[in-house]
Chain A
Amino acid sequence: MVSGLFKPFTVAVFSVILMASFSALSAQEPKKKSFDANEVIFGHISDGHEFHFFSYESGGKEHEVTIPLPVILYSSQRGLTVFMSSKLDHGHEPYKGYALLTDHNIKEWGLDTKKFHAEQIVAVNEKGKVDEAVKIYDFSLTRNVVQMIIALALLVWVMLVIAKRYRKGEGVHNAPKGIQSLMEPIITFIRDDVAKPNLGHKYEKYLPYIQTVFFFILINNLVGLIPGTANVTGNIAFTMLLALISFIVIIFSTNKHYWKHIFWPPVPHGVKPILIPVEILGVFTKPFALMIRLYANMVAGHIIILSLVSLIFILGAASKITGYVVSPFSIAFVVFIYFIEILVAFLQAYIFAMLTAVFIGQAFEGEHHEEKVHV
């Protein structure tokens, strides 16, 4: 009864506060340095040259608490340059003829936003202006790369520990212990519910790939949820590479029935001109959907969390009271979304592994089906 009333009540309170603060927002113009939610959100979800935790003001100067990462640049004119990203001072100072672009100095220098983006490193001349003649290849260890390597090391370590125990017979003849108890149900779940039903008798051949892709996405999703870390699985290049690997695996497990169904589908001749292009397109849309699905889900989750946190600062900029009143509600929603995001982290890894298994299964099925038709 009480819980039944609680939800509509909180919704009502929340909407009243929102209405009140929006009218307050339009009533007074912000005088101080305004809070740009767009910049904050996209700064958090995109790649960067440092792990950024928070910034504070003291003595009229802004201090940023970060972990700098190495910058590795190559250009044919200037050769190889290696230095730490802290030397660039968050875009305030050029170093060795290179400068870091931020949203602020892109606007200040009047650069083309289609060619340049924030967190990009550009070559500058003596006057401090961008030198477009120098072509830079950026091989920097950005936070996505560093975090992916850390997550990978963690995964390999956990897997080697449990593999060693199984080899010694622990968990085979007796009950599994410690981290084995955590991983074993997940591994058997992937084997029994993802690989076996979709891949049939060939499942042992593809099981290592399915398991690897599942655990690799899962650990990157989960590590990416820790505050202050990078959003690895919400990077289109990362998901594109995973989708590309899956595409290669799918293509290499096809048989002649699969290609026959694409180039000469068993339909009336009049329908063929329509169906053949659709089937050919379907070969590419499958991995494309895998790529976009993982990317969009992870980015959307991070944006929702950051938007709810930003709400506090947007309303706090209008007046301090609304900021304080909204923050408990906002934090409650953030915690709620966070739990959903943990679920999504598992779900997206599962869906990626599942769909890869289904597509591989589709690629080599048909041999039995065709035989039955001929008999």
Chain B
Amino acid sequence: MEAMAVAGGAIGAGIGACGAGIGIGQIGKGALEAIARQPEALNDIRANMILTAALVEGAALFAIVVGFLAIGK
């Protein structure tokens, strides 16, 4: 049972990381395209990119926390 919990926690955290990876990849793609179109807006785009990436990352971190809880129980 404990092994199942560990496996479940690990798989859950992994799937969470997948989602965040796709999300951050999309943000990076969008930001690079925007910078290529408008290089003079670099600073604004970069700040917003990092902010959005941090917010997406937050979702992945919650997945990791839930994974830890599953292992701990």
Residues of A near any B CB (own CB < 8 A): 193-194, 197, 285, 289, 292-293, 296, 347, 350-351, 354-355, 358
Q: In the bound complex, do residue B47 and residue A354 qualify as a contact, i.e. CB atoms below 8 Å apart? A: yes
Smallest CB separation, A300 vs chain B (Å)? 9
Residues of B near any A CB (own CB < 8 A): 43-44, 47, 50-51, 54, 57-58, 61-62, 64-65
Q: In the bound complex, do residue B65 and residue A292 qualify as a contact, i.e. CB atoms below 8 Å apart? A: yes
Which A residues touch B51, using CB under 8 A? 354-355, 358
Which B residues touch A293, using CB under 8 A? 54, 57-58, 61
On whether A351 and B43 interact (CB within 8 A), knowing A289-B61, A292-B65, A293-B58, the answer reads no
Give me 5 other A-B pairs in contact (C-beta within 8 A), A350-B50, A351-B54 excluded.
A193-B47, A292-B58, A293-B61, A296-B64, A358-B51
Q: With the chains together, A285 CA to B62 CA distance in Å?
A: 10
Which A residues touch B64, using CB under 8 A? 292, 296
Which B residues touch A194, using CB under 8 A? 47
Q: Which residue of A lies closest to B57 (CB)?
A: A293
Q: Of A193, A197, A292, A358, which contacts B61 at CB under 8 A?
A: A292
Which B residues touch A350, using CB under 8 A? 50
Which A residues touch B65, using CB under 8 A? 292
On whether A354 and B50 interact (CB within 8 A), knowing A193-B43, A292-B65, the answer reads yes
Smallest CB separation, A203 vs chain B (Å)? 14
Q: In the bound complex, do residue A296 and residue B50 qualify as a contact, i.e. CB atoms below 8 Å apart? A: no
Q: Which residue of A lies closest to B72 (CB)?
A: A114
Q: With the chains together, A39 CA to B26 CA distance in Å?
A: 38
Q: With the chains together, A317 CA to B62 CA distance in Å?
A: 37
Which A residues touch B61, using CB under 8 A? 289, 292-293, 296
On whether A355 and B43 interact (CB within 8 A), knowing A289-B61, A296-B64, the answer reads no
Q: With the chains together, A193 CA to B51 CA distance in Å?
A: 12
Which A residues touch B57, using CB under 8 A? 293
Across the A-B interface, give the 8 residue pairs with the lowest CB-CB distance, nearest first. Answer: A289-B58, A292-B61, A351-B54, A296-B61, A293-B61, A355-B54, A292-B65, A296-B64
Smallest CB separation, A41 vs chain B (Å)? 16
Q: With the chains together, A193 CA to B45 CA distance in Å?
A: 11
Which A residues touch B50, using CB under 8 A? 347, 350-351, 354
Q: With the chains together, A2 CA to B62 CA distance in Å?
A: 42
Q: With the chains together, A40 CA to B62 CA distance in Å?
A: 27
Smallest CB separation, B34 vs chain A (Å)? 17
Smallest CB separation, A231 vs chain B (Å)? 17
Q: With the chains together, A197 CA to B50 CA distance in Å?
A: 14
Q: With the chains together, A19 CA to B58 CA distance in Å?
A: 36
Smallest CB separation, B73 vs chain A (Å)? 11
Smallest CB separation, B43 vs chain A (Å)? 6
Which B residues touch A354, using CB under 8 A? 47, 50-51, 54
Q: With the chains together, A373 CA to B65 CA distance in Å?
A: 41
Smallest CB separation, A298 vs chain B (Å)? 13
21 examples of A-B residue contacts, CB within 8 angstroms: A193-B43, A197-B44, A197-B47, A289-B58, A289-B62, A292-B61, A292-B62, A292-B64, A292-B65, A293-B58, A296-B61, A296-B64, A347-B50, A350-B50, A351-B50, A351-B54, A354-B47, A354-B51, A354-B54, A355-B51, A358-B51
Most chain A beta carbons < 10 A, residue from B44, B47, B50, B54:
B54
Q: With the chains together, A350 CA to B50 CA distance in Å?
A: 9
Smallest CB separation, B20 vs chain A (Å)? 12
Q: With the chains together, A355 CA to B48 CA distance in Å?
A: 11
Q: With the chains together, A197 CA to B41 CA distance in Å?
A: 14
Q: Which residue of A lies closest to B47 (CB)?
A: A193
Smallest CB separation, A295 vs chain B (Å)? 9
Smallest CB separation, A249 vs chain B (Å)? 18
Q: Which residue of A lies closest to B65 (CB)?
A: A292
Q: With the chains together, A35 CA to B64 CA distance in Å?
A: 27
Q: With the chains together, A197 CA to B57 CA distance in Å?
A: 22
Smallest CB separation, B50 vs chain A (Å)? 6
Q: Which residue of A lies closest to B43 (CB)?
A: A193
Most chain B beta carbons < 10 A, residue from A193, A289, A347, A351:
A289
Which B residues touch A296, using CB under 8 A? 61, 64
Q: Which residue of B lies closest to A291 (CB)?
A: B61
